[in-house]
Amino acid sequence: MLLYLPLFPILLLIFIPLVMLAIRLARPEFAYFWLVAALGALLAWPMVLFSHTHIPQSITLVTWLPAAFFPMSPALSVDPVSWSYAMALVTLALAVILTDVSRAADADWVAWAGSLVITALGLLAVLSGNLLTLLLAWTAIDLAELVVFLIEVPQSSTREQIIIAFSARLAGSILVIAASLVAISTPSSLLTFTTIPPQISVYLLLAAGLRLGVLPMHTPFLADLPSRRGLGTVLLMVPAASSLVLVARVASVGAPASLGPLLLALAGLAALYAGVYWVGARDELDGRRFWIFGMAALSLAAAVRGQVDASLALGIALLLSGSVLFLFSARHRLLLPIALLGLLGFSGLPYTPAWQAMRLYTPPIGVWVFLFLFAQALLLAGYARHAFRPDPQLNGAERWVWMIYPWGLILLPLTGFLVAWWGRLAGAQFPTLSGSWPSLIAMGLAIVLVILAQNIPRLPVRLVRSLDVVFSFGWFYRLFWGVYRLVGRSLALFNLILEGEGGILWTILLLTLLLSLLGQNR
């Protein structure tokens, strides 16, 4: 029974929303949906936590036959990497439900049920034991998101952006399929995450980078999301985690030496671009997608350099430290230490959860190191600026709200320390104190940027918007969309010509030309 423990939270987080739906249909006046959702998340959290006691392990979900046609079958794998991301996701789901007690606008059973279902699909993705399972989980997540966005967003222009973002993620899935075909062509290659063939590492990095918006540089996350704090955060974080786990897997192989400098330069530019927008954002929700974009670029850069621990530390910091800020809707001076813990969670300072992230800067060091240092400083400065913003305070709330809401926030940074010291990082070698110099430099630069931002808060954004036309890759998608429309109009014109009175003559002419070309080739 304990061997199947990692499977139980996935089933539970799908079962609880079904129970909520049944209750809603049977008793529409039922007023305790929050309690049902919180109970489900509370039960799932220790299940994921104690699955760490049986790692590494693999669970075959179903065996597809014949093996000649199906070399892979859906399977789960629990190891330090997958367990760390699973803990981050289940903690996020629990934190969203607990902190929703302070947000009347998000207090909806549909949002809670949706958060649990999306989290269950995210757990399936991060616990995937092979590329096939990951592809199935990606597809389920993308379809669920697509349905939610198309229902909640009525504007046709925004819906077009949704389709484009969905297409970019679909392209990432196609790259994973291509990587699988390349791996299958090599008889000695195994299609599991424990042994990734080096010849497909670049395909997998590009696939994850495309889904995260790093390679090529674009922002596949929408600014206007339904349920801005709760469900909106889950809808952004879960897809990011499902791609970041692949990045950490590929970090065990790294990128080909010939492509390493190019990939590092692209990741550095992406992180810098996102950092500038993050600092200049109106608030943390306005810059939420740029936080994910920038931290994902740093995690991918660590994977390119073959630093598994650094990539994992940055990915976990993206999820947990970012979620502290995004769920910090009701402010009070007594809650500011929680925001400070979130800041420390990705600072890279010694003995903090992201200390291993400083392995990104291990020798040999190139010119790209300055891009990453400045990008990290921008992310730190933006986090401090948004965390200590004088937003609406939690005044006049009932006593039980004051008891639950802070626990939902503090659970996130505490889980970061738990993952770092009990999970993967507990058995890894930490950087030396002298090797922590990048975190000190980034922190110093961040302090300077915070001081400057008080005097010229909008200047960084104005400077970077002149390059936004190129760096955002929006021109590429507009060009692609223009070509698509041109082809569609050409086909419509061709169809109109053939359907007209002279359609038969045009058909005969085209057939004659085709026969003449075939005769010349013979």
Determine the Cα–Cα distance for residues 439 and 270; give it in Å rounded to an integer: 20
Global pTM reads: 0.86
Going from the C-alpha of 274 to that of each of 196, 290, 295, 372, 388, the distances in angstroms are 30, 5, 9, 11, 20
67-81, 107-121, 377-391, 506-520: least confidently modelled range: 506-520
Q: In angstroms, rounded to a whole number, what is the distance separating the alpha carbons of residues 403 and 359?
A: 39
Residues 6+ apart with CB under 8 A from 316: 84, 85, 88, 353, 354, 416, 419, 420
Whether residues 490 and 388 fall in one domain: no
Gyration radius of the chain over CA positions:
25
**3-class state of residue 57 by DSSP:** strand
Token readout for 83 is 């367990």
**What is the pLDDT at residue 230?**
83
pLDDT in tens, 137-159: 999 998 888 887 777 766 655 66
Specify the pLDDT at position 148.
79
Domain containing residue 504: 479-521
**Same domain for 402 and 281:** yes
Contact of 99 with 405, CB cutoff 8 Å: yes
Check residue 319 and give its pLDDT. Answer: 96
Higher pLDDT, 11 or 432: 11
- Here the tokens at position 170 are 């679909």
Per the structure block, which two tokens stand in for 36?
């049902």
Higher pLDDT, 505 or 73: 73
Torsion region of 63: left, alpha or beta (phi above 0 gives left; psi -120 to 50 gives alpha)? beta
Per-residue pLDDT band for 296 (boundaries 50, 70, 90) equals very high
Q: Using an 8 Å Cβ cutoff, are 297 and 271 in contact?
A: yes
CB 320 within 8 A of CB 413: yes
Q: For residue 302, what pLDDT is reported? A: 94
Q: pLDDT category, 28, cuts 50, 70, 90?
A: confident
**Predicted pLDDT of residue 106:** 64
Tell me, yes or no, whether 488 and 463 share the same domain: no
Of the candidates 201, 193, 301, 199, the one whose C-alpha atom is nearest the C-alpha of residue 245 is 193
Please check whether residues 246 and 285 belong to one and the same domain.
Answer: yes
Question: Sorting pLDDT into bands at 50, 70 and 90, what band is 510?
Answer: low
- 152/381 Cα distance (integer angstroms): 33
What was the pLDDT predicted at 426?
47
Rounded percentage of the chain residues whose pLDDT exceeds 90: 33
Structure tokens at 201: 């590492």
Residues 200 and 129 in one domain: yes
Instruction: Look at the chain and report how many structural domains it folds into.
Output: 2
Specify the amino acid at residue 65.
Answer: L
CA 494 to chain centre: 43
Q: Which residues contact 373 (CB under 8 A, 6 or more apart)?
A: 361, 438, 441, 442, 445
Whether 464 and 485 share a structural domain: no
- Specify the DSSP element, H or E, that contains 59: strand 57-60
407 token code pair: 């626990």
Q: Which residue has the tokens 């934190």?
A: 95
- For residue 314, is pLDDT > 60? yes
Instruction: Please indicate, yes or no, whether residues 390 and 513 belong to a single structural domain of this protein.
Output: no
Residues 6+ away with beta carbon under 8 Å from 255: 201, 202, 205, 263, 303, 304, 306
Q: How many Å apart are CA 357 and CA 251, to the nearest integer?
A: 13
144 vs 391 pLDDT, higher one: 144
Residues 149 and 292 in one domain: yes
pLDDT given at position 139: 92
How far is it, in rounded angstroms, from Cα 323 to Cα 99? 11
Range name among 168-172, 202-206, 248-252, 517-521 with the lowest pLDDT average: 517-521
Listed in sequence order, the residues at least 6 apart from 348 whose beta carbon sits closer than 8 Å to its beta carbon are: 354, 355, 357, 358, 376, 436, 438, 439, 442
Question: 199 and 54 share a domain?
Answer: yes
CA dist., res. 78 & res. 63, Å (int): 18
User: Over 60: is that where the pLDDT of 219 sits?
Assistant: no
Q: What pLDDT was estimated at residue 312?
A: 94
Amino acid at 309: D
Q: What is the largest CA-CA distance in the chain?
A: 88
| Geometric angle at alpha carbon 386, from 381 and 391, rounded to 5° | 155
Q: Is 295 exposed, middle or buried (0-12, 13-18, 19+ CB in 10 A)?
A: buried
Tokens representing 202 are 């670049």
15 and 113 in a common domain: yes
Q: How many residues does the chain have?
A: 522
Kindly give, in sequence order, each residue whose CB lies less than 8 Å from that of residue 99, ignoring residues fewer than 6 positions away: 229, 230, 327, 329, 405, 408, 409
Given a cut of 50, is residue 437 above it in pLDDT? yes
Same domain, 92 and 124: yes
Whole-angstrom CA distances from 110 to 35, 79, 203, 226, 310 are 13, 33, 37, 12, 37
- Is 70 exceeded by the pLDDT of residue 410? yes
pLDDT of residue 58: 85
Strands (E), 79-148: none
From the CB of residue 401, how many other CB atoms can be counted at a distance below 10 Å?
A: 15
Query: How would you label 329-344 residue by residue, b for 16+ Cβ within 10 Å and e otherwise?
Result: bbbeeebeebbebbbb
Q: Render pLDDT for 331-363 as a digit per residue (tens, 0 to 9).
A: 778 888 999 999 999 888 888 899 888 989 888
Residues 390 and 505 occupy one common structural domain: no
Summarize pLDDT for 88-101 with one digit per residue, the tens. 999 999 999 999 88
Q: How does pLDDT run across 172-215, given as a tens digit for each residue?
A: 888 888 888 887 776 555 567 877 888 888 999 999 988 887 76
- The answer to whether the CB of 245 falls within 8 A of the CB of 82 is yes
Query: Is pLDDT above 70 for 494?
Result: no
User: What is the reported pLDDT for 150?
Assistant: 74
The CA distance from 133 to 131, in Å, is: 6
The rounded mean pLDDT for the chain is 81
**227 or 155: which leads in pLDDT:** 155
Single out the residue of 316, 127, 331, 341 nearest to residue 237, CA to CA.
316
